[in-house]
Amino acid sequence: MGYSTIDSAASAGFAASGAGSTKYDPTYDPLVSPGPGHGKDYAPTYWVATAGSPPPDDGPVTKDLDVDVAIIGAGYTGLATALCLAREHGIKAVVLEANRTSWGCSSRNGGQGQNASGRLSRSQWIERWGKDVALKMHDEIQQGFDHFKELVAEIDCDPQPGGHFLIAHRPRIMAKLAAEAKVWKDVFGYPSELLSAQTFRREFIDDHEAAGALHEPEGIGVHALKLAFGYLRLARAAGATVHTSSPVMGWETINGVHHLRTPGGVVRARAVGIATGAYTAQTLHPTLRSKVMPILSNSMVTRVLTPAEIAACNFRTTQVLTDTRTLRFYYRFLPDGRLQIGSRSAITGADAPNPRHLDLLKEGMARKFPALRGVEIDYSWWGWVDVSHDMMPRVCQPDPRQSVFYALGYGGNGVSYSQQAGRRLAERIAGKGAQHALPIFTTPLPGHPFAPFRRIGQRMLYLQYFRHDEKP
């Protein structure tokens, strides 16, 4: 049985949005656009400006191809999947990327590699799945983080190791952090240290909002795009092919073979791995319609700070930091003396360039670091985060009758886990990995009964989160 997943009108729109112009489109919105474009420029991120020239890739698809495995999307997930397929299963996959290597989230994030995935805490795993499954989940995430550390050691990506601070943004949060630390220790044997506001602000960073902090030993900051370029180099050296400027604009399945239509030719694949993150068009494949909620996140990087500013903020650590807001701030003192900080952004792509979102972020920075009020911002950008409707990712084959697999839904925690998701996706594509029976592997992404109205709900939730977050 065959089906066409992108109708001709949408496909024409896709081509129109891509053809002719490679200019970055700041208003791109995955819920509205038929696709992420065709050969588009990178977002104007600090990482793009400082990563150096992109390593060679295999250029656009220029003719019809027959392949065993096609991966859609060349972010961390797609590249890690191709790398593991080649290194661990002897399968030389073909990666199809609409724009440039890691054009999506993987060139826009905060570079915070955390020992986490999805948006739920370890105690929430216990509530959702019970202790046994939560323990297995912890092992999976920890194993992923260990692999991540191995890759970071192999790739030149300016690592800033040492751990992760979770900063209580209000005194009332300290009791919650203490309870979480106890669960980490008692249930998972995962050590951490609770620090008072005075100790944290004196010894690490003088964040004026900090009411204390929880330090976990795992956590590494990386240069987001140097990491992606490293994955690209390793994947191609292992035998993968990476075609950029090759958006999948149409998809038909004929006698079990997937015909992926790109501008330069049709790629016929026996199996397809979808690694398109929040940049997944509604029309890409029926199994994914309304399964991922794309949420915008804003990020900015200051100019190089003066010694006096650094002293005033007491930047004594380069470890990665997030605060405990639901609409959280994440930040880090970068190796070249700048501050990177990010948080929530607009709801729609059309509203993303509105300066009020950047102003909110600047105000958040100034609350934390009054000495930086008014400091010049050298880089600011935004990107879409793939949040699943139950806040946890999935790496799965949604229909066992179809050779279609995906790894999606990391909820803003994908820098480290995406490579483990790629490893698990590769196993599944290679017909292995059945022993890993966690719910994130055995169930597909859940839908949402009110999917068409999700953005109205998101507006209400943001208001609710804001009120809750800012309560004394």
Question: Which parts of this chain interact with ligand FAD (CB under 6 A)?
Answer: 35-36, 72-78, 96-99, 102-106, 108-112, 114, 247-248, 275-281, 284, 297, 299, 330, 342, 383-385, 410, 412-415, 418
Least distance to ligand FAD from the beta carbon of 178, Å? 25
For residues 141 and 248, which CB has a smaller minimum distance to ligand FAD in the complex? 248
For residues 212 and 277, which CB has a smaller minimum distance to ligand FAD in the complex? 277
Least distance to ligand FAD from the beta carbon of 2, Å? 18
Token pair of 416, please? 């480290």
Least distance to ligand FAD from the beta carbon of 183, Å? 21
For residues 60 and 75, which CB has a smaller minimum distance to ligand FAD in the complex? 75
**Could you write out the three-class secondary structure of the chain?**
CCCECCCHHHHHHHHHHHCCCCCCCCCCCCCCCCCCCCCCCCCCCHHHHHCCCCCCCCCCCCCCEEEEEEEECCCHHHHHHHHHHHHHHCCCCEEECCCCCCCCHHHCCCCEECCCCCCCCHHHHHHHHCHHHHHHHHHHHHHHHHHHHHHHHHCCCCCECCCEEEECCCHHHHHHHHHHHHHHHHHHCCCCEEEEHHHHHHHCCCCCCCCEEEEECCCEECCHHHHHHHHHHHHHHCCCEEECCCCCCEEEEECCEEEEEECCEEEEEEEEEECCHHHCCCCCCHHHCCCEEEEEEEEEEECCCCHHHHHHHCCCCCCEEEECCCCCCEEEECCCCCEEEEEECCCCCCCCCCHHHHHHHHHHHHHHCHHHCCCCEEEEEEEEEEEECCCCCEEECCCCCCCEEEEECCCCCCCCHHHHHHHHHHHHHCCCCCCCCCHHHHCCCCCCCCHHHHHHHHHHHHHHHHHHHHCC
Q: Which residue is nearest to ligand FAD (CB)?
A: 414
Least distance to ligand FAD from the beta carbon of 131, Å? 25
For residues 126 and 320, which CB has a smaller minimum distance to ligand FAD in the complex? 320
Least distance to ligand FAD from the beta carbon of 232, Å? 12
For residues 97 and 323, which CB has a smaller minimum distance to ligand FAD in the complex? 97
Least distance to ligand FAD from the beta carbon of 264, Å? 12
Least distance to ligand FAD from the beta carbon of 77, Å? 3
Least distance to ligand FAD from the beta carbon of 471, Å? 25
For residues 125 and 371, which CB has a smaller minimum distance to ligand FAD in the complex? 125
Least distance to ligand FAD from the beta carbon of 150, Å? 17
For residues 109 and 160, which CB has a smaller minimum distance to ligand FAD in the complex? 109
For residues 99 and 197, which CB has a smaller minimum distance to ligand FAD in the complex? 99
For residues 42 and 197, which CB has a smaller minimum distance to ligand FAD in the complex? 42
